[in-house]
Amino acid sequence: MMRLDKLLCHSGLGTRTEVKKIIQQKRIYVDGQIVKKGDIKVDENLSVIEVDGQRIQYQPYLYMMLNKPAGYISATEDHDGKTVLSLLPEYDYASLFPVGRLDKDTEGLLLLTNDGVLAHRLLSPKHHHGRRYYAKIEGVVTVEDVLAFQQGVILDDGYRCLEAHLDILNVDEKQSDIEVEVYEGKFHQVKRMFEARHKKVIYLKRIQMHHLCLDPDLPLGKYRFLTKEEIDELKQ
């Protein structure tokens, strides 16, 4: 048994505030009866729950994509700074956590879920799932850098990276725009790969993780639920 309002939020009906409003508008039926309070207990497997006549199916897991702004830490708790979870205050009951980390100054795609099995699979080093980044690099990125990334650059601690794909988008003498796809998630990986080539990352944004692409219509600091197709692709 669980609280009706929690079940409705988990099913993607809306945030806690939106769900409260829908209940107040008397649009929810449980086993054929109008419901006026969100704190009643329902059976997530047996109760027939409808909104505006449409049956709601309980979803135990939530999957969100966040367009992370700089200045937020990819953790569930931090004593000194703002965490990415503070950008989703309506879901603080849902035990969401970020799947992997982006540095505090990195922007872009961050998956948040409470599905530990999927998170583990996506992060497992043995699967080599791709992570694609857009970056601005100080100075000129060259074809030699592309080849070095292909061969696996050696980081400051002696670790040889897996092959990575570097695409040069635009170059002038001050700055280069690139995209890079890496197949592992070492600490500060992209920044350290460029450091190994004596180059500095001045802006970094993740645009893809495995099959999941950052929604170009999602403003910085905003989140949305993944679609069923996106969840299925991630689970492949």
Contact region for ligand URA (CB under 6 A) — 82-90, 139-147, 183-191, 216-224?
A: 183-191
Q: Would you call 105 a catalytic residue per the annotation?
A: no
The Cα–Cα gap between 159 and 211 comes to 27
Among 3, 20, 188, 197, binds ligand URA (CB under 6 A): 188
Smallest gap from residue 205 Cβ to ligand URA (A): 9
Is there binding between residue 191 and ligand URA (CB under 6 A)?
Answer: yes
Q: Which of 43, 78, 103, 105 is catalytic?
A: 103
The Cα–Cα gap between 149 and 97 comes to 31
Please work out the total of residues on this chain that contact ligand URA, with binding judged by CB under 6 A. Answer: 8
The Cα–Cα gap between 36 and 48 comes to 16
Q: Is residue 90 a contact partner of residue 76, using CB atoms and an 8 Å limit?
A: no
Is there binding between residue 204 and ligand URA (CB under 6 A)?
Answer: yes
The 3-state DSSP composition of the chain as helix, strand, coil percent (nearest 5) reads: 25, 30, 45
Smallest gap from residue 190 Cβ to ligand URA (A): 4
Is there binding between residue 102 and ligand URA (CB under 6 A)?
Answer: yes
Residue 82 has a CB neighbour count (10 Å cut-off) of 13
Is there binding between residue 161 and ligand URA (CB under 6 A)?
Answer: no
Q: Cα–Cα distances in Å, from 218 out to 2, 79, 119, 214? A: 32, 28, 22, 8
Among 96, 190, 209, 212, binds ligand URA (CB under 6 A): 190
Residues that bind ligand URA (CB under 6 A): 102-103, 106, 188-191, 204
Provide the annotated active-site residues: 103
